[in-house]
Amino acid sequence: MSDYVVELKNVTKRFPGVVALRNMSLQIKQGEILGLVGENGAGKSTLIKVLTGVYLPDEGEIYVDGIKQNIKTPNDAKNAGIACVYQELNIVKLLSITDNIFINKLIRKKNSRLLDYNTMHKKAHEVMLSLGQDVDEKKPCGNFGMGILQMVEIAKAVLVDTKLIIMDEPTSSLGEKEVEQLMSTIRTLKARGVSILFVSHKLEELFEVCDRVTVMRDGEHILTNDIKNMNNEKLITAMVGRTLDNQYPKVAGKKGREALRVENLNSAGVLHDISFTAYHGEILGIAGLVGAGRTETCLAIFGAFPIDSGNLHIDGKKIVNKSPKDAVRNGIALLTEDRKGQGLVLSQGIDTNLALANLKKFSKGPWLNKGKIRETGNKNIEDFKIKTPGLKTIAGQLSGGNQQKVVIGKWINTDADIFLFDEPTRGIDVGAKVEVYHIMNRLVAEGKCVIMVSSELPEILGMSDRVIIMREGRIMGEIERESSKFSQEIIMKGAWGGKI
């Protein structure tokens, strides 16, 4: 028997202009939780796709229980006992939990072609329960949130005796409670002898749940060690190849005149009397739990979420944003948390995407100003350290984090005065985060107004001049950077409904 349940040996994977994996090796023990980290574009997702038969490696081998595998398709991977919970879940929302779990292995009544729903419902309920979810398995998946849907994916894997479950940034769209639930499920799976490969940019999660950690950089293996031998600094240094002295390079803003005044925004059941003012030259943080209405507030300001009443003023002048087009015309940019849905045209080049939010600026008369697009695009790539073979590379071929950097670039290239950043550093590695913070600093130094929604409290506290705290569609209070109340404790208290 091999010491390892799954082993990747000397794997190389090339894409045009990029070596995504270079002689990469990785070993996973039975029943262990192995963390996998690295900068955006390091090759983590590619490694997973090789393990799950989505990509064929150019060189190298995969072993399961010491036996060399010939994994050519996702089905081969499944048969070898390797499953993956992807970020874009493979769930059919109209179908029930039971249907989704059994979609590929329907149970039929004995000697009949009729489906045995009694058995399937029972088994579906049992397996969900064993993962800590007491749910109505007959209900359509569309009725449930991300946390439960992820569990449905895990249930699918558990039911077929999977040896290794791979999770690629599984917590990036979960709320606090759901993250806790997932962590506990991961531990349950481990106790049952299942191995987990856990990819995340949130280092504290790795310290919480992993046994060992592997760091990769530029497609290569850098180190593997027990997590107890590592700390934040060691991990970051291994990931970025240098020390990072200041994770939050805050430069105090110079608060100027009023930029955006929001008055009594109401949207039935979602937003209740949202009023606040944001100023030129400041970063205003919006904190709160997932579901507190922060994203809806941004969308409403941007004309992309219906409101029943309320007023907006920019520079003291009343405006109405009926659509995002109006908002852009009024000098507002929105960087969405959902880069695939609203941020990027995945089939288009980086250059086009970077120019897309301000075509006027990048046109000469009726023609596109290609020189200007190229010049700005190359500068964006340098400024944000976008890892790409070139400016014309299709956005869909970039790693997740690098796509997010293109979304940021696209909006920075507009002439907006007010920037709404919704979870701007989601999926971005620690080094690149610092670049995003520098950009925010630059914007406010130029007198722009930055409003930042973030679920990461260190980021909110690290970068905001002022923070408003939301809960269940209401503003609970506001704290200034200079105030003694400017702390994680006070924010959490407000977010959970306490008095600030």
Ligand X SMILES: Nc1ncnc2c1ncn2[C@@H]1O[C@H](COP(=O)(O)OP(=O)(O)OP(=O)(O)O)[C@@H](O)[C@H]1O
Binding positions for Mg ion, rule: CB under 5 A:
45, 399-400
Count CB neighbours of 470 within 10 A: 25
- Give the DSSP letter of residue 5: E
45 binds ligand X (CB under 6 A): yes
DSSP for residue 396: G
Q: Which of 141, 103, 101, 93 is nearest to 124 (CA)?
A: 101
Query: Is residue 398 a contact point for ligand X (CB under 6 A)?
Result: yes
CB of 358 to ligand X, least distance (A): 25
- Taking CB under 6 A as the binding criterion, the range among 35-43, 76-84, 128-136, 435-443 that sits at the site for ligand X is 35-43
Residue 473 interacts with ligand X (CB under 6 A)?
Answer: no
Per partner kind, with CB cut-offs from 5 to 8 A, the member of Mg ion, ligand X, none near residue 46 is: ligand X
| Among residues 8, 18, 120, 357, the one that binds ligand X under rule CB under 6 A | 18
Query: Which span sits near ligand X by CB under 6 A: 33-41, 152-160, 170-178, 413-421?
Result: 33-41
Contact status: 11 vs ligand X (CB under 6 A): no
Cβ atoms within 10 Å, residue 292: 24
Q: Which is nearer to Mg ion, 123 or 433 (CB)?
A: 433
Beta partners for residue 59, in sequence order: 12
Q: Which stretch binds ligand X (CB under 6 A): 98-106, 268-276, 400-408, 444-452?
A: 400-408
214 binds, among Mg ion, ligand X, none (CB under 5 to 8 A by kind): none
Count of residues binding ligand X (CB under 6 A)?
A: 19
CB distance 378 to 413 below 8 Å: no
Residue 86 CB, nearest approach to ligand X (Å): 12
**Count of CA atoms in the C-beta half-sphere (13 A) of 85:** 28
Answer with the entry of ligand X, Mg ion, none that 40 interacts with (C-beta below 5 to 8 A by kind). Answer: ligand X
Q: Which is nearer to ligand X, 241 or 497 (CB)?
A: 241
Contact (Cβ atoms closer than 8 angstroms) between residue 382 and residue 435: no
Do 458 and 270 touch, CB atoms closer than 8 A? no
Question: Looking at 38, 57, 170, 473, which residue binds ligand X (CB under 6 A)?
Answer: 38
> What are the residues whose beta carbons fall under 8 Å from the beta carbon of 350, sequence distance 6 or more?
377, 381, 386, 388, 390, 391, 392, 393, 394, 395, 398, 406
**Looking at beta carbons only, is 49 or 125 nearer to Mg ion?**
49
Enclosing H/E stretch for 449: strand 449-453
Q: Which is nearer to ligand X, 200 or 297 (CB)?
A: 200
Among 35, 43, 253, 288, binds ligand X (CB under 6 A): 43
Q: Considering only residues 5, 20, 236, 408, which one is a binding residue for ligand X as defined by CB under 6 A? A: 20
Q: For residue 94, how many other CB atoms are within 10 A of its CB? A: 10
Question: Minimum distance between the CB of residue 399 and Mg ion, rounded to whole angstroms?
Answer: 5
CA distance 343 to 243: 32
Q: Which stretch binds ligand X (CB under 6 A): 40-48, 336-344, 442-450, 489-497?
A: 40-48
Strand-pair partners of 278: 260
Rule CB under 6 A: choose which of 170, 303, 400, 473 binds ligand X: 400
Cα–Cα distance list, 322 to 270, 312, 328 (Å)? 18, 11, 11
DSSP letters for 23-37: EEEEEEETT-EEEEE
2 or 397: CB nearest ligand X: 397
Q: Using alpha carbons, list the distances in angstroms from residue 73 to 16, 77, 159.
A: 21, 7, 20
- Binding of residue 358 to ligand X (CB under 6 A): no
Task: Give the shortest CB-440-to-Mg ion separation in angstroms.
Answer: 24
Residues in contact with ligand X by CB under 6 A are 15, 18, 20, 38, 40-46, 387, 397-402, 429
